[in-house]
């Protein structure tokens, strides 16, 4: 009987390497795939930071004695992820490109490539999440069966849980996905890598910044290569002119603005992209920064819509991965719009940001913040 074939998305990091190792130990036919999704030459620079990650991915595959393949998705990443991110930034919206990257690239383009070109039955990544099928799909009865109502579950390690970034995955994507480190802690993952002799990546720092693009020392300068200057004004909430700016894409709700004149500092309280005005408040804890309710549009549910047969429901939500989930009520405002009321005011809820919903350990899905409808009085 032939072994089940699994393609592992090798990032060059320790999580994907250990995922491949654990799959091999369980007897799967494993091969590694490194995705090239960004080309520094497009920026006009000669250096190529992905070379190190690609080399580390190849190194891990060689140490584990599994095949290594690289595939180029630069065009697909640009069209499916980066262009949408730029368009949102132009309008002062704070999007999370990693979410689109996971849905369109890692679990769509990569999945199709692995299945159609290399005969894989499953794909695996190093994400710290689980599903109701099990980290290795051990709860599945038959390999070729499409299992209904697959639930996405938070990773066991709350500090590493990445369910926030996978909140828009579809059932057909989860149906072929394995998450070998989902029930592990980062400490144990590094320990296993070291014991296996993967010394070059066992203590490698985690990747930061935009998915596949990476962290930039001068992010504004990087974005300015793709978004033309669009000057506007910086004003207080009462309308007083504080200064000028070169584009609303440089600003995010709740972030400090480098303007003198207030010992508490000025922070972005609102962005009027149509009139190119950035409104500032005094201090990082100004009441205007705290949303008491907001609306989200086009919510996407992973398994079942909790509002399918009711007008309102109580769940938990988070607007940033590092924030703990907080209880909230959801109310339908229309066919594709929900009103979210957290039990406590949430700081710096920005238009375009993803609000992700939970029921205990289960990630229900999420939707982009459309509008802040109420803040604390000021």
> Which of the following is catalytic: 61, 154, 211, 355?
211
Which residue of the set 61, 101, 317, 328 is catalytic? 101
Catalytic residue status for 328: no
Q: What does the pLDDT average to over 244-263?
A: 93
**Whole-number percent of the chain with pLDDT over 70:** 93
Nearest to 362 by CA among 133, 159, 132, 157: 132
CB burial of 171-205 (b: ≥16 within 10 Å; e: otherwise) equals eebbbbbbbbbbbbbbeebbebbeebebebbbebe
What's the pLDDT score for residue 267?
Answer: 98
Model pLDDT for residues 21-68, shown as the tens digit of each residue = 999 999 999 999 999 998 766 555 545 556 889 999 999 999 999 999
Q: What is the pTM of this model?
A: 0.92
96-109 mean pLDDT? 96
Is 211 an annotated catalytic residue? yes
Q: What's the CATH superfamily of 289-375?
A: Translation factors (2.40.30.10)
User: What are 153's strand-pairing partners?
Assistant: 130, 362
Closest CA to 61 of 49, 52, 69: 69
Least confident of 47-51, 160-164, 180-184, 359-363: 47-51
Dihedral pair phi/psi, residue 363, rounded to 5°: -90, 115
- For 268-319, the DSSP string reads EEEEETTTTEEEEEESTT-GGGEEEEEEEEEEEESS--TTTT-SEEEEEEES
Q: pLDDT grade, residue 71 (50/70/90)?
A: very high
Within 8 A by CB and 6+ apart from 195, the residues are none
Residue 373: which H helix or E strand, with range? strand 362-375
User: Which CATH number describes the domain made up of 229-284?
Assistant: 2.30.30.280
Q: Which of 270, 261, 265, 264 is nearest to 288 (CA)?
A: 270
Question: 5-202 has which CATH code?
Answer: 3.40.50.620
- Asked if 5 and 86 count as a contact pair (C-beta separation under 8 A), the reply is no
Q: Report residue 216's pLDDT band, with 50, 70 and 90 as the boundaries.
A: low
β-sheet bridge partners, residue 235: 241, 279
Domain with CATH 2.30.30.280 in the chain: 229-284
What is the average per-residue pLDDT within 361-365?
Answer: 98
Which residue reads 């990569």 in tokens? 110
Delimiting residues of CATH 3.40.50.620 domain(s) in the chain: 5-202
Residue 55, pLDDT score: 95
Residues of the chain with CATH 2.40.30.10: 289-375
- pLDDT exceeds cutoff 90 at 245: yes
């Amino acid at each position: 009987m032939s072994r089940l074939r699994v393609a592992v998305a090798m990032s060059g990091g320790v999580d994907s390497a250990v995922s491949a190792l654990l799959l091999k130990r369980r007897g799967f036919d494993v091969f590694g795939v490194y995705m090239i999704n960004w080309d520094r030459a497009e920026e006009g620079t000669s250096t190529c930071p992905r070379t190190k990650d690609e080399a580390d991915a190849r190194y891990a595959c060689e140490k584990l004695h599994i095949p290594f393949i690289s595939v180029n998705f630069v065009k697909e990443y640009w069209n499916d992820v980066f262009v949408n991110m730029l368009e949102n930034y132009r309008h002062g919206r704070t999007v999370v490109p990693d979410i689109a990257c996971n849905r369109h690239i890692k679990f769509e383009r990569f999945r199709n490539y692995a299945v159609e070109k290399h005969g894989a039955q499953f794909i695996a990544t190093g994400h710290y999440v689980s599903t109701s099928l099990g980290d290795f799909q051990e709860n599945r009865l038959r390999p070729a069966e499409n299992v209904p109502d697959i639930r996405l579950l938070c990773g066991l390690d709350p500090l590493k849980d990445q369910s926030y970034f996978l909140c828009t995955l579809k059932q057909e994507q989860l149906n072929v996905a394995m998450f070998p480190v989902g029930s592990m802690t980062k400490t144990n993952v590094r320990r296993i890598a070291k014991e296996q002799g993967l010394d070059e990546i066992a203590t490698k720092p985690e990747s930061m910044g935009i998915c596949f693009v990476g962290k930039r020392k001068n992010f504004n300068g990087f974005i300015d290569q793709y978004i033309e200057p669009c000057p506007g004004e910086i004003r207080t909430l009462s309308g007083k002119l504080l200064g000028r700016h070169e584009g609303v894409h440089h600003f995010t709700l709740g972030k400090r603005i480098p303007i003198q004149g207030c010992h508490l500092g000025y922070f972005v309280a609102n962005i009027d992209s149509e009139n190119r005005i950035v409104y500032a408040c005094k201090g990082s804890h100004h009441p205007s920064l705290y949303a008491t309710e907001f609306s989200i549009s086009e919510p996407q549910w992973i398994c079942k819509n909790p509002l399918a047969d009711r007008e309102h429901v109580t769940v938990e939500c988070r607007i940033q991965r590092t924030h703990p989930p907080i209880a909230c009520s959801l109310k339908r405002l229309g066919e594709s719009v929900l009103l979210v009321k957290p039990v406590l005011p949430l700081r710096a809820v920005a238009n375009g940001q993803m609000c992700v919903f939970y029921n205990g350990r289960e990630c229900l899905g999420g939707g982009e913040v459309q509008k802040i409808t109420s803040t604390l009085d000021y």
